[in-house]
Every structure is written in C-alpha cells, then in structure tokens.
Structure 1
Amino acid sequence: MGMMQEFKEFAVKGNVVDLAVAVIIGGAFGKIVDSMVKDIIMPLVGKIFGGLDFSSYYIPLNGQATGLPLAEAQAAGAVLAYGNFITILLNFLILAFIIFQMVRLINKAKRAEAPAAEEPAPTPEDVVLLREIRDALKNK
C-alpha cells in the first residue's frame, strides 16, 4: 500500500498536474501551428514561387521517375522528401518563435509583478557611534 500512497502524492503535486496540462495544450497548439503552416503559409509561399507545393518536393533514391506524387513515390521506393522537411522546419520555427514571445511576455509580467527592492535596514546606533569614534580618532 505504501507505493500506491507515494504514487498518489506524486500525481497530485502541482508540478505534475501543470506538466500534464502543458503537454495537452502544447499538443493542441502544435496542431494549430501545423495547420497554419500547411494550410495558410506554405500555399502563399508556393504561390510566390510559382504555384508550387513544397510538401511534394522529393528526390527519388532508387532511380524511379520524379513525376509521381510524393505518396506514390514513397510507395514505389525510397525518396528524399526535402519539401516535407522544409514544411516541418518552418512549422517548428514558427512554433518556437511564438513560444519565445509567450515566455518573454510572462517574464515581463513577473518582473512588473515583483515587489520593489526593500530599503536596507537602518544601521544600529552602536555601529553609528563606533564609526563616529573611529573617524574622530583618524582625524587626530
């Protein structure tokens, strides 16, 4: 029964629950960014570069024809799907930039929320008196 109790204590700790929520939200957010890249950004980039779909760019590695769609080429043999890699890399860069901006805003909010630095405690009277005596002795 001790191990179950330990697991229960571990599972209800704030950090574990926060981590679980972050993973779930991060997964959903990743899908949103993936859709944004795949459905909005890459078609615009393709249109700018002549109406091409980057995700279908590949280099066949077994000598097959290059006119096939990517899925058929992959079924026919090994291919180097660099267009798909470009799409996923762009997805990652956008996601990393958005997360960076979120962390930056959170840090800025924490700094604004942090209490002002406290004034140093006043020097005790006996220390002040000893300093005055020392200074008086130095001047003689």
Structure 2
Amino acid sequence: MLTEFREFAMKGNVVDLAVGVIIGAAFGAIVTSLVGDIIMPVIGAATGGLDFSNYYVPLSKAVTATNLADAKKQGAVLAYGNFLTLTINFIIIAFVLFLVIRAMNTLKRKEEAKPAEPPKPSAEVVLLTEIRDLLKK
C-alpha cells in the first residue's frame, strides 16, 4: 500500500496540483497585502479616513466597543467591513487571473496562427517522384 501511495503521490498531476496550491497561497498573501496595505488605505483616505475593516453591526445590545476586535469580544457582530475587504480581494484576484489567462490565450492564438511546415513526403512518395522525373527525361 505504501508503494502504491508513493506512485500516486509522484504522478505529474499531483505534483502540479501541489505546486499550484503553494503558488496560489503565496499569490493570495500578495493580494491580501496589496488590498490591505495599498488599496484600502487609499479608499479610506478618499472617504475621509474610514477604515472598512472596523465596519460592523452589533447583533446584541451588550456590544458597545468602537472597534471590531473589542466588539467581537463583547458579543456577536456582523462584520460587513471585513466582508467588503475580502470581496475586494476576490475581485482583484479574479481580475489578475483574467489578465493572465487572456495573455496566455493570446500567445496560444499567435502560435496557432503561425503557418505549419508542410509534412515531409514519405520515402515511397520521394521514390515515385524520382521515377517520374527520370521518365520525363
């Protein structure tokens, strides 16, 4: 069973999937930093210094905190600001992936548009062509 598992784990598809997951996690971290450290502060500055991550609606009367972390300690809250930030993350990731796939498709179309070399004639066709040419003389 161990040998069978090793054969399964070393197949190309499994290794490719593992590499994709690792790269995806790193890409996700980059996008999270882009949104959290660059985009959201700009949006916050444009909206008068608002921080979306602290937008929430308390679901109980016991919540009186002014920031999300303290509000979660006091009771249930609906953290729609965090959801908004994650939605912006998703939109950016989807857009970047769209651009990457679009670029790949463009390159693929250019490769397909190149004229293919005509196939080389078989040995029989070459021989028959030589015989034809000799007979013409």
Specify the TM-score bucket, using the shorter chain as the normaliser: 0.7 to 0.9
TM-aligned CA distance change 1:5 to 1:115, over 3 Å: farther
Extract structure 1 runs of 4+ deviating beyond 6 A: none
Aligned to 1:54: 52
Equivalent in 15, 18, 28 of residue 16 of structure 2: 18
Aligned-residue sequence identity (percent) comes to 58
Equivalent in 80, 83, 99 of residue 82 of structure 1: 80
The answer to which of 101-110 and 44-53 deviates more is 101-110
Distance 1:18 1:65 in 2: 47
Equivalent residue runs for 1:93-132 within 5 Å:
93-114=91-112, 116=114
Aligned to 2:123: none
Distance 2:68 2:108 in 1: 48
Distance 1:113 1:12 in 2: 31
**How large is the RMSD of aligned CA atoms in angstroms?**
2.2
Distance 1:115 1:6 in 2: 43
Aligned to 2:71: 73
Q: TM-score, normalised by structure 1?
A: 0.76
Per-residue displacement from partner, 1:35-88 (whole Å, max 9, x unpaired)?
Answer: 110111001001111110011010101014555211000000000010111001
Residue type of the alignment partner of 1:28: A
The answer to which of 15-24 and 108-117 deviates more is 108-117
